[in-house]
Amino acid sequence: MYEPKEKQFKPRKFLKLAEKLIDDGKYEEPARIRTVVGRAYYASHLFVKERMKQAGWRIPDDHTVHNFVIDELLDNEISNIGSMLDKVYEKRRIADYYMDTPLKLAEGKLCVQIAQEIIDFIEQFPLKKK
């Protein structure tokens, strides 16, 4: 069952949560950073994916969607955003799967800022398929 568009969950809300959480001392730092990186990535990934769909891209509905979105950005001369998303994607992978790789607070903050930058850029310059 689908929600009407206006009721759909907005990916930006993930970013708001990440922004609040990153400095919230109530939670243990390593867990906080890993959660923040994940939310920052999904906020930017889902935002870009949604805008791609609106611009006419056919988006795969499986695990290949992550690389698909980055590749399309790199192909369509929006490579700066492709590189940014790849950076946050890489950190999100570490945050969720590599417990032996530490993540610093600065990296968590950088991911939040990059995610915001991606969303702002796409908002200002809507995607166009070449």
Q: What is the binding site for other proteins (CB under 8 A)?
A: 63-64, 66-67, 70-71, 74-75, 77, 79-80, 82-84, 86-87, 89-90, 93, 104, 106-107, 109-110, 113, 117, 124-125
| Shortest distance in whole angstroms from residue 21 CB to other proteins | 17
| Shortest distance in whole angstroms from residue 63 CB to other proteins | 6
| Shortest distance in whole angstroms from residue 111 CB to other proteins | 9
Q: Of 24 and 71, which CB lies nearer to other proteins in the complex structure? A: 71
Q: Of 12 and 93, which CB lies nearer to other proteins in the complex structure? A: 93
Residue that has been written with the tokens 């759909």 in this structure: 8
- 128: which residues sit within 8 A by CB, 6+ positions away? 55, 76
Q: Of 19 and 86, which CB lies nearer to other proteins in the complex structure? A: 86
Q: Of 15 and 84, which CB lies nearer to other proteins in the complex structure? A: 84
Q: Which residues of 18-32 are buried (b: 16+ CB within 10 A; e: fewer)?
A: bbebbeeeeeeeeeb
How big is the chain, counted in residues? 130
The C-alpha atoms of residue 104 and residue 129 are separated, in whole angstroms, by: 37
Q: Quote the tokens at residue 53.
A: 């769909």
Q: Quote the tokens at residue 83.
A: 């590189």
